[in-house]
Amino acid sequence: MEAENFVSTREALTRSDGELVRLRGWVYRKRELANNIFIVLRDSEGIIQCVVNRESAPKELVEEAERATIESSIEAEGSVATDARAPGGKEVRLSSLRVVGLSENFPIKGGESLDYLLDIRHLWLRSRKLTQIMRVRATVLDALRRYFIDNGWWEVSPPILTQSAVEGGSTLFPVDFFGRKAYLSQSAQFYLEVMIFSLERVWSLTPSFRAERSRTRRHLYEYWHLEAEAAWMDMHDMMRVVEDMVKATIKEVLDKRLEELEFLKRKLDPLEETLRSKFKEVTYDEAIERLQKKGFNIKWGDDIGADEERALTEDLNVPFFLTMFPKHLKSFYMKAYDQDPRLVLGFDLEAPEGYGEIVGGSQREDRYDVLYNRIVEEKLNPADYQWYLDLRRYGSVPHSGFGLGVDRLVMWITGIEHIRDAIPFPRLRERIYP
């Protein structure tokens, strides 16, 4: 069979009755009855029912259909016929079938424990649920990249091995770099800041690594991090970029992946309302007041963690910006708020429905002396950050940036319960398989 003659399951479902189609994929389901053998074929586009009639089909075809096992790879040919009982309302009545790769007894039959499925993630990824999520994820990545390209930003390629911490030394993964200590990157931010002095508006998409000992439904130790930095932008300028980018991504998913969202039983109202709404700004002070009214034992100066974020967002349908944090809660590079030195010009984008933070950003401190003093205050060694301080010595400029957790964005858009299903191979504290 020539490859160019094959059609996808999605394409086959659009063909007229009696049309001959050639298919290839994997056996998703199989039923053997007295008169017919039903094989549900799965490919990257979906599923379609194939039928072999025992009485009218050649003996070789019946034997091959009987031989095909769950997850065997197959090539098939037959005519399209309408049947309301079949998935998608049509089936293919086979005239030929070839088992390409015979599958052994497939170990996933339904009802397996989560730990077991994580242990065989390489096979679990074949499930229809995870396939739909990965299709949405691919569209999210495409939409994010397209947003930056269409708006004149430059993609750059920062390193993954670094010499210094961006988000605090306690969350670093150390590695041996030819006898010297290096670390897996927590963020590309510092390298992106270097690039704004030539390209002005830059972005990158890389893995980032955080070693904090968190076990929440939205935490990974290796995650995909989309980051952007821009010269001449203040905090609110960058917040507008984030809002436009998130809305453009949601629109792309709604335009192209509605079928996948419906399969996942995702409620569309929050996504559609997000497109129609302006993202509001809630200050840290206002958030503390809201949490106290909800019964949280929290006071000004306390961190707003995952539980608090969930409480702030669970009754909402639209993201909002949480801004103006106490200085001691945030990283040293965030610009101090001149009107209140206790605060910094930082922002988080909080996703609704209890999903919490998906973007963290700020205006960066562009004054050499203030940045130097903050590094000392945090008990960091200024010598480790001399190259970063140099950016404030040679033509410093107001600038801002953000980091978006792609996996968290996918988690919210698809409406799934745990971030482990938003990425093909999740790195969790208890396992690093495969």
> How many Cα atoms sit within 13 Å of 357 on the Cβ side?
19
Between helices 269-276 and 235-256, what is the axis angle to 10°? Answer: 140
Could you give the CA distance from residue 244 to residue 274 in angstroms, rounded to a whole number? 11
Residues in contact with 131: Cβ distance below 8 Å, sequence separation at least 6, in sequence order: 44, 125
Residues in contact with 116: Cβ distance below 8 Å, sequence separation at least 6, in sequence order: none
> How many Cα atoms sit within 13 Å of 186 on the Cβ side?
19
Give the type of residue at 376: V
Query: Where do we find the tokens 């989309």?
Result: 226
- For the chain, the structural domain boundaries read 3-101, 121-422
**Cβ(235)–Cβ(347) under 8 Å?**
yes
Could you give the CA distance from residue 349 to residue 280 in angstroms, rounded to a whole number? 10
Residue 3, pLDDT score? 39
Q: What is the DSSP string of 168-190?
A: -GGG-EEEEETTEEEEE-S-SHH
Here the tokens at position 68 are 């095909």
The DSSP symbol for 364 reads: B
Could you give the CA distance from residue 281 to residue 120 in angstroms, rounded to a whole number? 43
Residue 203, pLDDT score? 98
Q: Strand 320-326 vs strand 36-43: parallel, antiparallel, or unpaired?
A: unpaired
Class of 3-101 per CATH?
Answer: mainly beta
Nearest to 325 by CA among 357, 366, 352: 357
Count of helix runs (H) and strand runs (E) in the chain: 14, 16
Class of 121-422 per CATH?
Answer: alpha beta
Q: What is the DSSP string of 306-351?
A: HHHHHHHHTT-SS-EEEEEEEGGGS-TTBPB-TT-TTEEEEEEEEE
Residue 154, pLDDT score? 98
Here the tokens at position 380 are 């960091």
Per-residue tens of pLDDT for the chain, all 434 residues: 443 599 999 999 999 999 999 999 999 999 999 999 999 999 999 999 999 999 999 999 999 999 999 999 999 999 999 999 999 999 999 999 999 999 999 999 999 999 999 999 999 999 999 999 999 999 999 999 999 999 999 999 999 999 876 766 668 899 999 999 999 999 999 999 999 999 999 999 999 998 877 778 888 999 999 999 999 999 999 999 999 999 999 999 999 999 999 999 999 999 999 999 999 999 999 999 999 999 999 999 999 998 999 999 998 999 999 999 999 999 999 999 999 999 999 999 999 999 999 999 999 999 999 999 999 999 999 998 999 999 999 999 999 999 999 999 999 999 999 999 999 999 987 777 78
